[in-house]
Amino acid sequence: MAVSTVKDLSSLEDSFHQMLSSLQIMKDIRGDWGGDTIDEFKIMNKEIQSMKQEVAIQREVVEQGRTDLKAAISLLNQFQQLASVVTHMQENLPEYLPRANKHHSGASGNIKSDKEKPVPAGKNNSQEKAQPKANSGKSKLIPSIQYITVEEFDGVSKYIKGRLQYEQVNNAVDEVNKTIETKYMLMARPRAKLSEFDMKIVNACRSQENKETKGFYFVIDNDIKRWSNMKLDPAGRSMLTVLRTLKRLREIRGPGNLIRYAVS
C-alpha cells in the first residue's frame, strides 16, 4: 500500500507493518541482507519519511479542529446567552416603549381623586367613549401624547431633566394621557347625565377655554391632581418641562398664573 493512498493514521500503520513483513520475508528467502535488500530499505525509508509528513499534516488538521471546536463552543454559549436575553426582553417589554399612538381605555370608569370620593362615570363607558365632544357637531377622538424615545431623552439638556430617568418621563406620559382622556370624556357627556358635582367640574373646565385654546385639548394642574397619580413636585414639574421641550406638550398661559398643558 503506497503512503499516498492512505486515508487515516490506522491505514498508515497497516502500510508500515506490511512493508516490514515483506522485508522480513525477502531476508528469509535471500538468506541475508544483500544489496537488493538494502535498496528495499531505502525505498522503505522514503515511505517512512512520507509517513512522517502525513502524520505532521494530520496533527495540524487535528489541532486546527480543536481550535475550531473551541471557537464554535464559545459562539454557541454567546448565542445561548443572547437568546436568553432576547427571550427575557420579549416577555418583559415595558408598557412605555415607543409604539403606535395608544388610546388609553384604562381612564374610563369611575373618576377617582385623592381628595374627593369616587364619582360614577356612567354605566356604559364604551358607548360614552364614542359620543362626540359637547357642542362639537361630530365625533372626535381624544388625542394622546406619543411616548418619547431613548434618543430623544438623551438629547435633552442635563439642566432640564436633572436626575430624571427615561422610564419616569414615559410614566408621566401615561398619567397626562389618562388625565386628558378622563377630562374630555366627562365634558362630552350630555348635561342630563351629569351630577351637580360633575357639572361644576365641567363648567370650571369650560371657563379655562379661550380663543387661544381653540382646537387644542389641554389640562391644568388641578386636572392632573384630580385624575392622575402624578405628583406636581419638582420632579413632576421637570417631567412636564421635558415633555414640553420634546414638543409633546405646549403651554398656553393666562390670564394670571393659569398654565394649560396642551397636546401639541
Concatenated DSSP letters of 122-150: -S-HHHHHTSPPTT-SS--PPP-PPPPPH
pTM value?
0.50
Neighbours of 68 (CB within 10 A): 10
Q: List, in sequence order, every residue forming a beta bridge with 119; answer none if it has no partner.
A: 111
| Residue 264 pLDDT exceeds 70 | no
Class of the CATH domain delimited by 125-263: mainly alpha
Residues 6+ apart with CB under 8 A from 30: 36, 37
Q: For position 131, what pLDDT does the model report?
A: 40
Q: For position 100, what pLDDT does the model report?
A: 46
Residue 80's pLDDT band, with cuts at 50, 70 and 90, is confident
Q: For position 113, what pLDDT does the model report?
A: 39
Residues 135-193: pLDDT tens digits? 443 346 889 999 999 999 999 999 998 899 999 999 999 999 999 999 999 999 999 89
| Residue 97 pLDDT exceeds 80 | no
